[in-house]
Amino acid sequence: MTKTNLAIAGASGRMGRMLLEQAALDAQTQLVAALDATNSKAIGVTARLFGGNADVFVTDNASALERGDVLIDFTRPEGTLGYLEQCEACGAGMVIGTTGFDAAAKARIEAAAKRIPIVFSPNFSVGVNTLFKLLEFAAKSLDGSYDVEILEMHHRMKVDAPSGTALKLGEIIATAQNTRLADRATYARQGHTGERVRGEIGFNAMRGGDVVGDHTVVFAALGERIELSHKASSRVSYATGAIRAAKFLSGRTSGLFDMFDVLDFPR
């Protein structure tokens, strides 16, 4: 059995540790590189202390990517774009779970996918991606008389809002209804706002404690309300999905994919 050689970025962080732990449990992968920011206290420490099962030491030297088939990256936009350049240079694929990219950064990722294989998704949970698919059906079935609100809550350390997953939920609804999210999104309400604008998609972001990730989409009409929710109590589902995505990329030379491709969901 051929194993996928994994490199993991942000090795000492919350998501990095979970990725190391789950990769250690997957017989089809082999950890070959663990990376972290230059100022990290983990530099030079064995990845075993963070849940890894290989004699790999955490480094800030991106040349370590040359040993990997795929880099899994859940860091921050500036870090991801730096790793992207290194992956292009050595021909490694990328699984990108980082959120908060602007349009220029997204275009940069799309351009890189012409040279290396990339799975780019705001959420790698199989459950969340199933929610995405259910939402397509709901949005097509429910007409404009249903008001749409998206609620999300994450831990106090999260730096972007709304979450990438919440924005993806909004994009799915808008696309399914043959509209553009940019024309419908409302990101904040304060003061005397007047009546709700027909057709808008409202976003509500909450931050606090150690909440891993809660998302709810509400379709509200006169006399009834439909709610579709996903609540994550652990990062395990994100990590196992990302590792599944890394194995999906093994053997591919280029292309931009998402979790629908990894899970072989119908388009």
Euclidean distance between CA atoms 240 and 218, whole angstroms: 28
215 among known catalytic residues? no
Residue 130 and residue 117: Cα distance in Å, rounded?
23
Using alpha carbons only, give the angle 236, 207, 118 rounded to the nearest 5 degrees.
45
Q: 175 exposed, middle or buried (CB, 10 Å; 0-12, 13-18, 19+)?
A: middle
Under 8 Å between Cβ of 33 and 7: yes
Identify the bridge partners of residue 95 per DSSP, sorted by sequence position. 72, 119
Cβ-Cβ contacts under 8 Å for 147 (sequence gap 6 or more):
196, 198, 200, 202, 218, 219, 220, 221
Give catalytic status of residue 247 as yes or no. no
Q: Which of 99, 246, 95, 220 is nearest to 161 (CA)?
A: 99
Catalytic residue among 3, 106, 133, 154: 154
Structure tokens given for 122: 């705001």
Give the active site residue among 3, 158, 168, 192. Answer: 158
**Cβ contacts of 166 within 8 Å, gap of 6 or more:** 150, 152, 203, 205, 215
49: left (phi over 0), alpha (psi -120 to 50) or beta: alpha
* Residues that are catalytic: 154, 158
